Structure 1
Amino acid sequence: MNSPRPYSPVPGPGQSLTERRKAATQLDIARAACALFAEHGPDATTAEDIARRAGVALRTFYRYFRSKQDAVAPLLAGGGDEWRALLAAEEPGVALGPAIERAVRGALSLPGGEEGLEWTRGLLRAAEEDPALRAVWFRVNQESEDRLVPVLGRLAGEGADPLDVRLLAAAATDAIRVALEVWAATDAPVAGPGSPAETAVRCLRTLTASMPLVTGA
């Protein structure tokens, strides 16, 4: 993974006030970690530094995260939360190809999202030299793919082949992941040609061009 505005987790239905506060604290820590990684790099940043910047005790940091790299997971995961929520709002039986494209474009083009995308670019660049940070990125994407399967299954309907649903979830997740990685390695803008939204849709169309749930075959 992994939102414009900047990226923030989408509250789950029925989430209690305590759970919302925990999520807000996690996001504060994630933003602090991202800022420090951008300023000093992961190697020169400690968990203590992140806790101090976030205004929490070190024990609070470790209550939520296992490592300094793990602290950025909520920030990276927010993008997946955003676009799955947009897709989940579609009605069952909708044409899946266009629906997925709408959700991807919507999540990657939300007003005020430039800062979140630039944070993601900085994290992905830092991950090139940090295996632990790369591992967090891949884990976030795998979790996003797993959560996408039931969303697509509901939209595709009861008669859909579970394998087709699973493959479409993998393709959609990888389209966004690859698009963000390619974009992060450049100085391309956050909107317009070369942007994450445009590149993700291009990847999506290439990866799903022959998939039955998209073509209707």
Structure 2
Amino acid sequence: MTAAAGRTGRPPLTEERKAEIRLEIARVAVDLFVAQGVAATTGEQIGRAVGISARTVWRYFPSKEACVRPLFAAGIEAVADGLRAWRPGRPLEDALECAVMDGSLVHSPDHATMGALIRLTRSEPGLRAEWLQSYDEAEPAFARALAERAGVPADDLRTTIQAAALNAALRAGAEYHVWRVADRTVDAATAETEFRATLRAALATVAGGLS
């Protein structure tokens, strides 16, 4: 009998299922962070809410703050997809409308979750570090997408600078919107409309350059 034939127990998780679990952990972690703060939240609580052990949580993430990474990664992937599909002559803010504002980032439960998470980065140093780290990871991803679109090498200086400017605009726009909304009481529809307008203005500023 071969080793494979004699193997028992649960079948290994697919990569797709692992990604689903990571995202579920991220959503639950943010809910707990909002409800009781990061310091008061434990790996055991996160795991219990997801239906897994704390040991499994730590298998996926090195810390409780790191649990939010899949939410940031989804945003990076959506923007990079939009950049690769950006057609010549089309405004940058229109090119990313579908990927970011008309796509899953707005019209999904993760939109509200992301808003809550970004608000937390204002006062939670550990989450702030994860937020800033996500932008370090986003910049080369955007540069590669822009280089692919332009048909130039991945390390081209122009696309590197364009990616840095785009990255900064998205971060500044998201923080500007979320932190302003946090200081006011607005309904979900108004918040979404303002979010779209803020991101479009930020992207238009990058596309227009500095005068």
Shorter-chain TM-score tier:
0.7 to 0.9
Matched, 1:102 2:94: yes
Using the aligned pairs only, state the percent identity. 33
Residue in structure 2 matched with residue 75 of structure 1 by the alignment: 71
Task: Deviation per CA, 1:71-127: give whole Å up to 9, x if none.
Answer: 011012212212222332346xx23x62x3234322123376263222112112212
Q: Which amino acid aligns with 1:40?
A: Q
Task: Deviation per CA, 1:166-196: give whole Å up to 9, x if none.
Answer: 111111111111111111112263432x32x
The one of the two structures with greater contact order (alpha-carbon pairs below 8 A, sep at least 6) is 1
CA distance in 2, matches of 1:159, 1:19: 30
Q: Find the partner of 1:50 among 46, 49, 72.
A: 46
Residue in structure 2 matched with residue 178 of structure 1 by the alignment: 172
Q: Does the CA contact (< 8 Å) of 1:171 and 1:208 recur in 2?
A: no
Residue in structure 2 matched with residue 208 of structure 1 by the alignment: 207
Q: Does the CA contact (< 8 Å) of 1:83 and 1:103 recur in 2?
A: no
CA distance in 1, matches of 2:158, 2:101: 25
Higher-Rg member (1/2): 2
Matched, 1:191 2:198: no
Q: Which amino acid aligns with 2:93?
A: E
Matched, 1:125 2:147: no
Matched, 1:61 2:53: no
Q: Which amino acid aligns with 2:101?
A: L
Q: Over the residues paired in the alignment, what is the CA RMSD in angstroms?
A: 2.3
Q: Which amino acid aligns with 1:49?
A: Q
1:143 Cα deviation from its structure 2 partner: 0.9
Q: Does the CA contact (< 8 Å) of 2:81 and 2:145 recur in 1?
A: no
TM-score scaled by structure 2? 0.80
Q: Which amino acid aligns with 1:157?
A: G
* Number of corresponding residues: 189
Residue in structure 1 matched with residue 7 of structure 2 by the alignment: none
Q: Does the CA contact (< 8 Å) of 2:139 and 2:163 recur in 1?
A: yes
145-154 or 17-26: which moved more? 17-26
Q: CA 1:161–1:209 in structure 2 vs 1: closer, same or farther (change >3 Å)?
A: farther
Residue in structure 2 matched with residue 136 of structure 1 by the alignment: 130
CA distance in 1, matches of 2:153, 2:147: 9
Q: CA 1:69–1:116 in structure 2 vs 1: closer, same or farther (change >3 Å)?
A: same
1:160 Cα deviation from its structure 2 partner: 9.8
Q: Which runs of 4+ in 1 moved over 6 A?
A: none
Task: Deviation per CA, 1:48-78: give whole Å up to 9, x if none.
Answer: 1111111111111111111111001101221
Where does structure 1 lack aligned partners over 5 or more consecutive residues? 1-16, 212-217
Q: CA 1:115–1:160 in structure 2 vs 1: closer, same or farther (change >3 Å)?
A: closer
SS in 1 for 2:176: helix
Where does structure 2 lack aligned partners over 5 or more consecutive residues? 1-12
TM-score scaled by structure 1? 0.78
Q: Which amino acid aligns with 1:121?
A: G
Q: CA 1:19–1:159 in structure 2 vs 1: closer, same or farther (change >3 Å)?
A: closer
CA distance in 2, matches of 1:56, 1:174: 37
